């Protein structure tokens, strides 16, 4: 079967991610530059939290950088996963500006931050694909970034 690839505007990111999360069975990897839990962003984090309870390989890489706004979002995000078996990593010295969500064999990649602006207000551009080369490359890249991040003890 040929790979499926399509464009997703920022205001459709939530619905797309929710569908993929509903089908997930083995992996959720999230690397997000900015997190601000309001509106659809909060709803999506709640969906990720729900899915992560049954997904054996759930990993997050978040930015911190000493930025008060970024730190607040990370703290709010981590509260959602306090009772979950997830691996969390923080970028403290190097900025990971990417916005990447890998769910099983799907990749959602683009400009949308996990924030109200990124999911509801801004003009954002994202691509969704199940192309095996793209997903494999994203997983390899995710692991490389993770190697440069600091694990967080929950």
Q: How far apart are CA 45 and CA 5, in angstroms?
A: 24
User: b/e per residue, 13-22, with b = 16+ CB within 10 A?
Assistant: bbebbeebbe
| pLDDT tens-place string over residues 25-69 | 999 999 988 887 888 888 888 888 889 889 989 999 987 665 566
70: confidence class by pLDDT, cuts 50, 70, 90 = low
Residue 74 is inside which H or E element, if any? Answer: helix 68-79
In this prediction, residue 68 carries a pLDDT of: 63
pTM score, whole prediction: 0.90
The tens digit of pLDDT for each residue in 89-106 reads: 888 777 888 899 999 999
5-152: CATH class: alpha beta
> Which runs of E-coded beta strand occur in the chain?
5-9, 27-32, 57-63, 87-91, 99-103, 106-110, 125-129, 150-152
């Amino acid at each position: 079967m040929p790979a499926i690839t399509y464009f997703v505007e920022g205001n459709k990111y939530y619905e797309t991610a929710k569908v993929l999360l509903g089908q997930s069975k083995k992996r959720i990897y999230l690397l997000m530059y900015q997190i601000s839990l309001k509106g659809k962003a909060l709803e999506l984090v709640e969906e990720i939290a729900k899915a992560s309870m049954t997904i054996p390989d759930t990993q997050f890489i978040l930015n911190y950088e000493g930025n008060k706004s970024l730190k607040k979002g990370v703290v709010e995000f981590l509260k959602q996963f306090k009772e979950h078996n997830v691996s969390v990593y923080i970028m403290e010295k190097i900025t990971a500006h990417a916005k990447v969500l890998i769910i099983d064999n799907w990749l959602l990649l683009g400009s949308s931050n996990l924030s109200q602006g990124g999911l509801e207000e801004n003009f954002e551009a994202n691509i969704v694909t199940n192309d095996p080369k793209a997903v494999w490359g994203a997983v390899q890249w995710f692991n490389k970034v993770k190697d440069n991040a600091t694990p967080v003890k929950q």
